[in-house]
Structure 1
């Protein structure tokens, strides 16, 4: 079979020259070329000259033919004559954005070719399993895809016309709406629910019901939207058990021991299965996910089915890159925030809390209790803490109530909402008459003297 001839070169020398020439005649054109880097240039002398131009402009100096020649010195042959030629052959800097885009595009295609060759070499020579090689290949492609074009700042007044139109759409009910959690009291604290592009952290100590809460939210969202639940803690069968228990209002213990099922339980099971059939809910139980894995799974569901909400259970089980756990967590939360904006989805991220709060008399969580990194509260658009007083005080007057404390919220009103928690069914629901936290009983002062013995 004849090998197909290459129909397109993987470089464009004219585009590279036009970028350099535009920068030499107009240093301010640097603001219109996007995120172009020296490594994007094909020719070595072009890389050297571009890096020097960027260095001089970045230092606040004017860069022209003479200063460029002095800066590159002997690293570029006949640099003075060539720089003069570049500047003379570029009539205007108006099209630098288009030329820079061509240079970036060619660099990306060269990267794909190089990666493809490396994939072939890995497949032919590596003794590692194919799944490991696929993960490595995915990481390489992800790095190629991370090249971004810088967005130019705009004057705020120029955006007001679009803003007013969006405000009118909100009034008419046709604008972008937050994604409801299914719990009105929680939505109120979040100013309507989870907004696209937001990262919402839900944190609690063990046994508080954070996985059940996240599943309930995902189920509620899946009725009218699409949600993906990534569980690194529980296998899919356990997730299904909990969903059937919650949606069918069947005690989880009976599902785990079917011999105890009662006749009316089967009605609930049938109802739950039918409801799940009608829901746009996707689940995955791969353990030890990396940020790359989360991105690939979310993008896959988004592309094939559409995606509105991503739930991750939970942060501390994810693998990250960095010298220590703090830097790893920081990279993960920052990446998830970027992913939410990139895919235009809401992300609910579950997180553990430090054990230190167990040493306090009042064990209700505060932001300082977030485990592993302060980056969690910095990157999150909202932080919700779950607390059930009965876990620590079995005779609590708030037994059966879960406090959802919206402690941090950029777009909402911090405060606490109460939800009913039916533990045997792993189900949350709104309280019929609202909720106010019960006040602890005040101890009567101890009487002394004769009065103490009366």
Structure 2
């Protein structure tokens, strides 16, 4: 246990440069304090985890003590003894008696946060050294399969993880931690009004079906051209950004307590065009009128007020065309680090670039990359997708999973697959001649379809599939909540 550490208690460097930075004494003092007084654990739990301990035996002692304290059970040398009877590492240190020595040697409880911070800082230094060596080794090895640009992205990803989570890779985690995380998600849903575990889209029926947008989920929003994919995505982005409120979450961390920061990769439309769509929706003035400048004074005032309201929205747009998936990931990381990021939208998947020459493999690489971003940044990612033309050849033009274009991996990687369908669009193209006997029937059907859209949930890994009806106002390219027949007396669309 008395290894020579690279940094002594004062932070001065000592002789052996090959020994990784650590402080066995700080670890012993912290563990002793926790075993003596379990209330101390709450002071350090937000700073360190078991992975930050240099000595693996100390890491196991801390993890076991933390598990007992989390269940409101006593963690002391006596209660922990049973868990370490057969621990070979502890036997080398003197067996369960070492636990008693730890508790007996604890000097001061008031300095425990300083010890925790020291353990954390030394762990980060060790990770930085390991990361630096890894970067250096890869850079020195000239390999055609590992381009310098890719190495920079990998290094940035590892540094981002180290800055955000305090570790370069997560590795295996105990089932207890996974269960605790699951309970925290359920608790957040229980605490939130309306019972949503995810970020609300403000489209009530869709939220009810999905439970909001869940962290680490990849959601595919697919449809044929003119169905309104981009409109629905911008509506969701605006609704989330507009509702953004920052504060302390139930788990004690700082962040969005309502709504969220939205990142929008617009690969087809320019940022200006996208902002125009959002302004049309917010001001309730048709995008055609905005483009032509054909507004009266009251409309223009409404337009300016909407623009002022939008200025405060945390909605960030990147309109770089044909962006590689690695660059997209790097920019999303940077956005989260600088401004925060709660939801990412990509419009659309087929316009992102991969590295493969084979189109099916390239689409597979992109969909896997988007799912990886969702997991790494712990945010929902909504990716828009085109559908194949075979939809048009069917009598019922409602999309289905087999219509996803170019790769089955999109369906495989996605947690949720949604299709936008507007029957009104197809119905207008089937208009009979004015003197046709079918004209009355066509008009009657048109009235039923007018102003309505469907979001068909074709796959949902953690919930039901089915159809959600929404209202659609083409002039403002806006999707909204559809008033049900039993709500007719209580107001209009909201």
Counterpart Cα distance in 2 of 1:262 and 1:389: 33
* TM-superposed deviation, 1:168: 4.7
Once residues 339 and 165 of structure 1 are traced to their aligned partners in structure 2, the CA distance between those partners, rounded to angstroms, is 22
What's the CA shift for 1:325? 1.4
Determine whether 1:180 maps to 2:231.
no
Counterpart residue number, 2:384: 350
- Name the SS of the counterpart of 2:335 in structure 1: helix
Structure 1 residue 262 corresponds to structure 2 residue 262: no
Q: Give CA deviations for 1:97-143 in whole Å, capped at 9, x if unaligned.
A: xxx9999764531343467889xxxxxxxxxxxxxx99667446357
Match of 2:419 among 378, 385, 394: 385
> Partner of 1:293: helix, strand, or coil?
helix
Find the residue that maps to 2:449 and give its secondary structure. coil
Q: Secondary structure at the match of 2:381?
A: strand
d(CA) in 2 for partners of 1:434 and 1:304? 46
User: Alpha-carbon deviation of 1:382?
Assistant: 0.6
User: Which of the residues 459, 472, 476 maps onto 1:408?
Assistant: 459
Aligned counterparts of 1:415 and 1:181: Cα–Cα separation in 2: 18
What TM-score do you get using the length of structure 1 for normalisation? 0.65
SS in 2 for 1:301: helix
Correspondences of 1:41-60 after superposition (within 5 Å): none
Matched with 1:214 is 233
Partner of residue 432, structure 1? 483
In structure 2, the CA distance between the partners of 1:154 and 1:416, relative to structure 1 (3 Å rule), is same
In the alignment, is the contact (CA less than 8 A) between 1:321 and 1:327 conserved in 2?
no
SS at match of 2:175: coil
Give me the whole-angstrom Cα distance separating, in 2, the residues matched to 1:236 and 1:166: 34
Range that drifts further, 426-435 or 331-340: 426-435
1:227-246, aligned counterparts within 5 Å? 227-246=262-281
Question: Among 132, 137, 148, which residue is 1:109 paired with?
Answer: 132
The alignment status of 1:148 with 2:162, answered yes or no, reads no
> Quick one: distance in 2 between partners of 1:161 and 1:240?
41
- SS of the residue 2:427 aligns to: coil
1:360 and 1:177 map into 2 onto residues whose CA distance is 38
Q: In 2, distance between residues paired with 1:143 and 1:168? A: 30
* Preserved CA contact (<8 Å) 1:12 1:102: no
After TM superposition, list the pairs within 5 Å mapping 1:63-82 onto structure 2.
none
Give the SS at the match of 2:480: strand
Residues 313-352 of structure 1, C-alpha deviations (whole Å, 9 max, x = no match): 0000010122411111112211211211211211110000
The change in CA–CA distance for 1:166 and 1:418 in structure 2 (over 3 A counts) is closer
Q: Is the 2:188–2:197 contact (alpha carbons within 8 Å) kept by the matching residues of 1? A: no
Q: What residue is the counterpart of 1:374 in the other structure?
A: 408
- Following superposition, the deviation at residue 262 of structure 1 comes to 2.1
Q: Distance in 2 between matches of 1:109 and 1:152?
A: 25
CA shift in 2, pair 1:10/1:315, >3 Å:
farther
**What is the match of residue 279 of structure 1?**
313
1:419 to 470, 473, 476: 470
Q: How many Å separate the matches in 1 of 2:15 and 2:352? A: 41
State the match for 2:25 in structure 1: none
Map of 2:248 onto structure 1: none
State the distance in 1 between where 2:282 and 2:390 align: 35
1:8 to partner: Cα distance: 10
- In the alignment, is the contact (CA less than 8 A) between 1:387 and 1:404 conserved in 2? yes
- Structure 1's 8 and 276: CA in aligned 2 closer, same or farther, altered over 3 A? farther
Range moving further from structure 2, 193-202 or 319-328: 319-328
After superposition, the Cα gap between the structure-2 partners of 1:419 and 1:9, relative to the gap in structure 1 and judged at 3 Å, is: farther
Unaligned residue ranges in structure 2 (runs of 5+): 1-12, 22-49, 52-91, 96-122, 142-146, 162-167, 245-259, 429-441, 487-494
CA distance in 1, matches of 2:376, 2:349: 20
Distance 1:150 1:429, change over 3 A: same
Gaps of 5+ in 1: 1-6, 16-31, 34-90, 95-99, 119-132, 436-454
Cα distance in 1, alignment partners of residues 16 and 223 from structure 2: 52
* Secondary structure of 2:392's aligned partner: helix
Partner of 1:307: 341
How far residue 197 of structure 1 moved from its aligned partner, in angstroms, is 1.0
Q: Deviations over 1:50-109 (max 9, x none)?
A: xxxxxxxxxxxxxxxxxxxxxxxxxxxxxxxxxxxxxxxxx79x9xxxxx9999764531
1:203-254 CA-to-partner distances (Å, cap 9, x unmatched) read 0000001001100000000022110111000011111211111110111111
How far did residue 164 of structure 1 move?
5.2
Q: Is the 8 A contact 2:190 2:196 kept in 1?
A: no
Deviations 1:381-407 (A, max 9, x none): 111100111221115330221111111
Q: For this pair of structures, how many residues does the alignment match?
A: 336
Measure, in 2, the Cα distance between the counterparts of 1:137 and 1:330: 21
